[in-house]
Structures are given as structure tokens and as C-alpha cells.
Amino acid sequence: MENKQAIVMSGIRPTGFLHLGNYFGAVRNYVRMQEEYSCYFMVADWHSLTTHPDTATLKDHVKRVLAENIASGLDPEKVALYCQSHVPETAELYLYLNMMAYKGELEKTVSFKEKVRLQPDNVNAGLLTYPVLQTADIILHRASYVPVGKDQEQHLEMARTFANRFNHRYGEIFPEPYAFNFGEELVKVPSLDGAGKMSKSENQLATLYLADDDELIRKKVMKAKTDSGPTEPNSPKPDYIENIFLLMRLVSEKEVIAKFEADYNGCTIRYGDMKKQLAEDMVRFISPIRAKATDIKNDHKYLQDVMEKGAAKARKSAQVTLALVREAMGLNYY
């Protein structure tokens, strides 16, 4: 890790197993970035407590998410792969940053407003300061690049605000962190029901998980919403049809996509055939990752070793940052 220059950090909540959105929005970039950058990737178990206070499935999910990251090609020897709660320095930085984050700006956050709507009986302070904790995760390693999907754009904007506020008040310690996707716009993988994005805990039948078995993948894809097809050549695509094309672009061969584009434009498209093709391409893509992830997850000794080594690497970097932070803040008394 020592020779690599720019620092990269990202995280995933263990509120469920990984889905295609997590893969194409985040993990695919992690795997590409591990060769060129100094990378810190973690499972955000503290963040998940803001919405999932019941921890009965947490252990299982943390392990599965770690295993799925590794099965997708992440090499724990090349990166620091760890669990958020194993790096307590995060909590100290979170505390300092909380003194610089204002109630008004936190209440305006889109994700906060959405959570208030979804869980009106549990609008806890952790939910309000969620973006502060996320900022602590990122700037703890003084990271500049944060591979994430499009839904995290606002959190990254807030991370820049908090980092700049700290720098302005106490001295230049933190670079501005930016959301990152290789040479393209940030990704948003749509759900199969044409409504919104794929997500870990909502509408599970419209979400393709890396843990889904072949039959379930086929069933979910075949259920995706379609219609009787275009009647005018070269018509614009309704959102739910565009979504199917978008999913196909993620996993299918170029020629296959071109064929269905041409069929669509010529009004000869058969959505049943298109979905069958998409289902088979999804199965081909997901099944090897699922098999590998299951093997890794069952190897408890190996996962424990990954977590311990990852936490040691992350804490080493975190402790350097916190020494700088305490000094800048004047909290060094001797």
C-alpha cells in the first residue's frame, strides 16, 4: 500500500446482502481501483444501526457482505477491508465533526427526510447525523476519491462541506473528497419494477441480489414490467423499458444489445425473448460470484483474519490522522 498515491475510501451498510446496484455502483470500482490506489473499504455496521436496531442478522450480513466483496474480486492483501466498528477512531472524529454540523443543514438532507418518512417512530439522532459519521469514515484516512453510486452524491457534497469547515477552523488537514466512477457518470441501477433504484431492504422481488439462485433470478427478470411494444419506429422508450435495456448493458454482449435495440426501433421487439436473454446473462454473471461468496463466508477463520488485518491497516492510518486532528484543535496538553 505504501507506494500507491491517492487515497480511496468507501463503505457499504450490512442491512442486507449485496445487489446489482451495490455491485455496479460501488464494488466494481473498488476492484478496479485496488491496483492503482491506496484503498480503504469497509462494512458500515454502525450506520446500519440507524435503521436496523435489531442486530439478530447483523453478524451474518457483515460476513456475507465481506465475502461478496472478495468474491467480486477485491483482494484483502491489496486493500484494507474492515468493519467500521473495529476502528473506534472513527467515533472520535465523528464527535469532533458533530460540533461543526448544524441541525438545519442535517435536516435538509434528502436521505434524512426519506428515513423520517419511512420510520416516523424512530427518528433518532444517529439518523440525523448519518452524513457526519460518513464524513468521519472518509476523512479519517484523508481520502480524495470515494467510489459510490449516484444516490450518495449529496452525502459527498456534505463531506466536502464538513472537511472544509474543519480546515477553515483548525488548519488544513483534509483533502476534499469526491464521488468517483471510472471515467463515467455515477451509476444508478434501476429496480425491476420500473420504480426507483434497486435497494437492499425495499421491494426485494424487484432487486437482483448477488446471493439469488438461478431460478429466482429468472423469475425476477421475467416479472419485470413491459408493455405490448412500440407502434412507431424509433419511439422514445418508457422508463421501465429503458431500465431493462440499462440492465442488459451491464451484463450482456454488445451484439445482443444491438439486436434488441434494432428490434425496438423497428417495432419487432419481443419482450419475452429479451427478458429470457437478460435472465440467462444475469445468471451467467451472478452465479460464479454467489458460489465463491458462499465458500468464503463459510470459512470463518479466513474472514476473521481478513477483518483483523483490515482493521489493523485502517487503525494505523486513522491514528495518524487523529494525531494531526488533536494537534490542530489544540487538544494536545503535553
Q: Which residues bind ligand TYM (CB under 6 A)?
A: 9-13, 21-22, 24-26, 44, 47, 134, 137-138, 146, 148-149, 151-152, 155, 187-189, 197-199
**188 is a catalytic site residue:** no
For residue 140, what is its C-alpha cell?
Answer: 479519517
Cβ of residue 71: shortest distance to ligand TYM, in angstroms?
16
Cβ of residue 143: shortest distance to ligand TYM, in angstroms?
8
Sequence letter at residue 76? P
Q: How far is CA 300 from CA 87, 185, 200, 310, in A?
A: 20, 37, 24, 15
Spatial distance between the Cα atoms of 63 and 58, rounded to a whole number of angstroms: 9
Sequence letter at residue 43? V
Q: Are 132 and 106 a contacting pair, CB within 8 Å?
A: yes
420500473: which residue's cell? 194
Cβ of residue 64: shortest distance to ligand TYM, in angstroms?
13
Cβ of residue 248: shortest distance to ligand TYM, in angstroms?
16
Kindly name the residue from 78, 150, 197, 254 that is annotated as catalytic.
Answer: 197
Residue 191 or residue 230: which is nearer to ligand TYM going by CB? 191
Cβ of residue 149: shortest distance to ligand TYM, in angstroms?
2
Of 313, 321, 10, residue with least CA distance to 149: 10
Residue 318, classified by CB atoms within 10 Å of its CB into exposed (0-12), middle (13-18) or buried (19+), is buried
Residue 285 or residue 302: which is nearer to ligand TYM going by CB? 285
Spatial distance between the Cα atoms of 297 and 61, rounded to a whole number of angstroms: 10
Residues 6+ apart with CB under 8 A from 81: 41, 42, 66, 69, 70, 74, 306, 307, 310
Cβ of residue 204: shortest distance to ligand TYM, in angstroms?
13
Residue 182 or residue 334: which is nearer to ligand TYM going by CB? 182
Residue 29 or residue 226: which is nearer to ligand TYM going by CB? 29
Spatial distance between the Cα atoms of 131 and 113, rounded to a whole number of angstroms: 13
Residue 127 or residue 257: which is nearer to ligand TYM going by CB? 127
Residue 46 or residue 264: which is nearer to ligand TYM going by CB? 46
SS (H, E, C) 2-20: CCCCCEEEEEECCCCCCEH
**301 is a catalytic site residue:** no
CA 46 to chain centroid, in Å, comes to 15
Spatial distance between the Cα atoms of 127 and 50, rounded to a whole number of angstroms: 5
Spatial distance between the Cα atoms of 132 and 333, rounded to a whole number of angstroms: 26
Kindly name the residue from 200, 220, 275, 297 that is annotated as catalytic.
Answer: 200
**275 is a catalytic site residue:** no
Q: Catalytic residue numbers?
A: 115, 197, 200
